[in-house]
Structure 1
Amino acid sequence: MSNKVFAKGLAAALAASVALVPLMASAGELVIESWRNDDIDIWNDKIIPAFNKVHPDIQVSFKPSAPTEYNATVNAKLAGGTAGDLITCRPFDASLELYKQGNLAALDDLKGMDNFSSVAKSAWQTDDGSVTFCLPMASVIHGFIYNKEAFEEAGVEVPTTREEFYAVLDKIKEEGSYAPMAMGTADQWEAATMGFQNIGPNYWKGEEGRKALIDGSAKFTDKPYVDTFAELASWSNYLPDGYEAISYPDAQNLFSLGRAAIYPAGSWDISLFNSQADFKFGAFPPPAAAGSDTCYISDHTDIALGLNAKSPNAAEAKVFLEWMTGSEFASLYSNALPGFFSLSNHKVEISDPVANEFVSWRQKCESTIRNSYQILSRGTPNLENELWNLSAQVINGTLSPEEAGKSAEAGLAKWYAPHQ
């Protein structure tokens, strides 16, 4: 072989090897895929440096995608063998499908996995609960955020029962300086997420009712669900004028500008209000009826981290995941992102007072998750999307609570055997 031919061959081989470099991390270097592109500074400035203090030999890179593009991007990368070592997992079906396709490794034998309850792991398990394929990271909690100045001006106290809650709303409406509640129905999803799924667990008794829907022993035409829709319908008396045209960002602005007294909330709104509101605000859980023995909160599993089953760095990735099961990560993540709460059993001291109020409800109320997320939204019509529409229509007065219950049940019966 001539030197010229050898040189050309060597050059071609080097070019090919260079071309492959971006496709996989080198040994000991981990790449995290995520849709949380707003988290990049938190990972780079806090979480990864904390890990490297203990494991300086393992390099970690956080490489997020745009939230709306994440599922398609990760699926394409996994199919092409170019995905990172650690895959941020959405709850339930999207991640379950990745596991079924052989893209996520089982993590049941991961050291520290026993720091998470069965409810915490439920969003990232097979239907029978036999395999856990992502490490739970954080949940979001539903409740109500309130303007402390508005409450003082109206002379009302934080309600502890459902009856007190509506007495407060009536007093604020009568006083007239503030819209009693900031929410609209234009985007629909918040009517279900911060409405139906917020107040409903106190009616259907949290996990007991959620699991009964799955096994078919409960139906949406039953009293707990119709009563939830009925309470939701009453909210129209307290929402701003023209609420049918108010979007989610509009409602956020109404509250942060100090024009509403109460905001039906997800805890993820805390950071926004911290940055925008110039008044003090607090939070209270969805009130149960007077005399109720137990209160329930929607403590919804939101985000987890899984191991790419084909990662060349599985050993290092497991070291990182095991570190994430500990109390240091739980505290770092919960405090870096007020309103996103560690799903581990570790006691975490949260510095943000409103976030701390939200998470304190775990000590006095039973936690559950949104009842449309596990199994029940796999068919057509999709239950989650149905509840968006039905909840908005109930508030708008275009559908009665009984009609909403019948419609939700009829939708499930079209494809889900336990409801047929």
Structure 2
Amino acid sequence: MKWNFKKAISMFLITIMMLTFVACDQRDTVAEEGNASTTEVKRNSSVKEDKKDESPEEIETFSVLMFTEWYKKGWEAVEAEIEDNAESLGFKLEIEKIAGSQQGDQIMKTRFAAGEYPDFFEYQSAYDVEMKLGGRQQIQDISGDWVENFDSALLGSQFYSYDDTIVGMPIDPAVLVGTFYNKKVFEEVGVEVPTSWEELMAVCEEIKQAGKVPFYYPGKDTWALTMVLNEGFIREYAVTPEKELYEKLNSNQLHFSELELLKDALVKDKSIIDKGYVQPAFLSGTYDEEQKALANGDVAMIFQGTWVMDEINKKFPDQATDIGAFAIPFEDEGRSSQFAPFAFMMTAGCDKDAGMNVIEYLGSKDTQQLFADNQPGLWTCKGVTSDLLPAVADMKKWQDEGKVNIWYGNQFKYPSPPFDIYIQDYFAGGREVEEIFTAADIEYGKTAKASGDPNWK
């Protein structure tokens, strides 16, 4: 019995040792597999290799506020990478998405007025923050190493700077306004891309006669009704040089009601409605339905910015290559308004030292390339390449030929009058075209007077 007891003890100890070796071996294997997986993620990351084994004291979570429609595939990919590498980066992002247009603007105004700041937010421009959200004190200087990756003239513009202080980072592709069309519908009807307004109307008539809808107008989302207005301002530069035009508008020497080519652009715009070239009940149309209608070929054309292709590519990837584009064909085959990329900014409520880690990460070439890989477009970071969708490549031709101008709204000294509301009312028959611009003169003058501008008395 004594011998059997010793034998049993020995066998038990041997078994324990064997199990320990197996467990250690399995743990080492899992660790190796985990390291391989992490390394693979970081090869596509802007996380520095010398940081990959570092373990920060804590992972800080930063809040970000943006409009829902601005959260696209690029942001999805970047947010996923941050989540996967949070331990190495030392931070996470908690992104809150809110409705866009006037509703979203009002939410931002209310929160900023109450001092309820997110750490970061994405907005039209630094200029718009000053005009709409309470002024320069709401945001911080974010100058850093990342600025070397962008053109200094771009960063020095009112989109991203106050005087010589950089407060915003370009965080989306530049946008060009044009006419987006379903190539399959054009081919089926047998029409070519028009190069003048008269040709555009002829194309619309042929499409209508073929039993199809030429245009979709998103009448409910009023901001989307201003695309032709954008190009109408450009038409005026043939009469008054661009810089001079805005200097005069901003000093009460020229008025919106005096811009005849601009008025004519909206008369032409409304003629598309009057001739029955838009979908039924267009005043209830939405931006979302506009994308679907064009992608599915339910309509032939829309007036939009290249940002619409981000949405179509996200929701209807199989149809995205069916879409082409051309400038709204006024004089000389038309020109295009260019919107600078949206600005990513740090609020006064964010700890700057900690927040700059987020800024440097987002502004790095690797992260900007990750944005571009997942959201093709006209990205502005140096060295970043992008496989453009056909429609965006079509519009880029106007950019390459120098046929683009900065969006009119970013050249005003004061916030733009609510042209979108005026245009919706005009399209619905509630006012005449002249009344749009008379109202705009009054509204712009009120804002100037409230600001103490001596040019308005």
- When normalised by structure 1's length, the TM-score is 0.73
1:246 to 258, 265, 285: 285
**1:323 Cα deviation after fit:** 5.1
Task: State the alpha-carbon separation in 1 of the partners of residues 284 and 360 from structure 2.
Answer: 47
**1:269 Cα deviation after fit:** 2.1
**1:157 Cα deviation after fit:** 1.5
1:229 to 266, 278, 294: 266
**Contact 2:177/2:338, CA 8 A, preserved across alignment:** yes
2:447 to 403, 415, 419: 415
Q: Does 1:195 align with 2:228?
A: yes
| SS of equivalent residue, structure 2 residue 434 | helix
**Superposition pairs for residues 132-281 of structure 1, below 5 Å?**
132-138=166-172, 139-173=174-208, 175-192=209-226, 194-198=227-231, 200-204=233-237, 208=243, 209-210=245-246, 212-221=248-257, 222-236=259-273, 237=275, 238-274=277-313, 275-276=315-316, 280-281=322-323
Q: Does 1:389 align with 2:431?
A: no
Q: Does 1:106 align with 2:145?
A: no
What residue number does 2:65 align with? 34
Task: State the alpha-carbon separation in 1 of the partners of residues 193 and 121 from structure 2.
Answer: 41
Distance 1:57 1:153, change over 3 A: closer
Q: Does 1:66 align with 2:100?
A: no
Gaps of 5+ in 2: 1-55
**Contact 1:95/1:124, CA 8 A, preserved across alignment:** no
What residue number does 2:437 align with? 405
What residue number does 2:329 align with? 287
1:305 to 337, 344, 353: 344
Distance 1:413 1:75, change over 3 A: closer
**Contact 1:198/1:297, CA 8 A, preserved across alignment:** yes
Task: State the alpha-carbon separation in 1 of the partners of residues 374 and 178 from structure 2.
Answer: 21
Task: State the alpha-carbon separation in 1 of the partners of residues 265 and 356 from structure 2.
Answer: 43
Task: State the alpha-carbon separation in 1 of the partners of residues 441 and 129 from structure 2.
Answer: 26
Distance 1:345 1:408, change over 3 A: farther
Task: State the alpha-carbon separation in 2 of the partners of residues 185 and 256 from structure 1.
Answer: 19
User: Does 64-73 or 235-244 show the bigger shift?
Assistant: 64-73
Gaps of 5+ in 1: 1-24
**Contact 2:263/2:434, CA 8 A, preserved across alignment:** yes
Task: State the alpha-carbon separation in 1 of the partners of residues 307 and 399 from structure 2.
Answer: 16
**Which amino acid letter does the alignment assign opposite residue 423 of structure 2?**
S
**Contact 1:92/1:374, CA 8 A, preserved across alignment:** no
Task: State the alpha-carbon separation in 2 of the partners of residues 224 and 408 from structure 1.
Answer: 16
What residue number does 1:18 align with? none
**Which amino acid letter does the alignment assign opposite residue 261 of structure 1?**
A
What residue number does 2:368 align with? 330
**Superposition pairs for residues 117-132 of structure 1, below 5 Å?**
118=153, 121-126=157-162, 129-132=163-166
**Which amino acid letter does the alignment assign opposite residue 125 of structure 1?**
S
**Superposition pairs for residues 344-359 of structure 1, below 5 Å?**
344=381, 346=383, 348-359=385-396
**1:144 Cα deviation after fit:** 1.6
**1:262 Cα deviation after fit:** 0.6
**Contact 1:89/1:134, CA 8 A, preserved across alignment:** no
**1:145 Cα deviation after fit:** 1.3
**Contact 1:93/1:374, CA 8 A, preserved across alignment:** no
**Contact 1:334/1:342, CA 8 A, preserved across alignment:** yes
Distance 1:407 1:73, change over 3 A: closer
**1:150 Cα deviation after fit:** 1.4
Task: State the alpha-carbon separation in 1 of the partners of residues 223 and 91 from structure 2.
Answer: 36
| SS of equivalent residue, structure 2 residue 256 | coil
**1:76 Cα deviation after fit:** 8.0
| SS of equivalent residue, structure 2 residue 447 | coil
**Contact 1:29/1:313, CA 8 A, preserved across alignment:** no
Task: State the alpha-carbon separation in 1 of the partners of residues 252 and 456 from structure 2.
Answer: 5
**1:264 Cα deviation after fit:** 1.2
Alignment RMSD (CA, Å): 3.8
Distance 1:136 1:405, change over 3 A: same
| SS of equivalent residue, structure 1 residue 282 | strand
What residue number does 2:112 align with? 75
**1:412 Cα deviation after fit:** 1.8
**Contact 1:96/1:124, CA 8 A, preserved across alignment:** no
- When normalised by structure 2's length, the TM-score is 0.68
Aligned length: 375
**Contact 1:182/1:239, CA 8 A, preserved across alignment:** yes
| SS of equivalent residue, structure 1 residue 414 | helix
Deviations 1:149-205 (A, max 9, x none): 1111222222234443333223323x332111111434433212x332255434446
**1:146 Cα deviation after fit:** 0.5
What residue number does 2:43 align with? none
Q: Give the structure with higher Rg (CA).
A: 2
**Contact 1:182/1:252, CA 8 A, preserved across alignment:** no
Task: State the alpha-carbon separation in 2 of the partners of residues 76 and 110 from structure 1.
Answer: 32
**1:147 Cα deviation after fit:** 1.0
**Contact 1:373/1:384, CA 8 A, preserved across alignment:** no
**1:278 Cα deviation after fit:** 6.3
Distance 1:108 1:273, change over 3 A: closer
**1:344 Cα deviation after fit:** 3.8
| SS of equivalent residue, structure 2 residue 93 | strand
Task: State the alpha-carbon separation in 1 of the partners of residues 401 and 432 from structure 2.
Answer: 33
Distance 1:188 1:308, change over 3 A: closer
| SS of equivalent residue, structure 1 residue 365 | coil
Task: State the alpha-carbon separation in 1 of the partners of residues 129 and 394 from structure 2.
Answer: 31
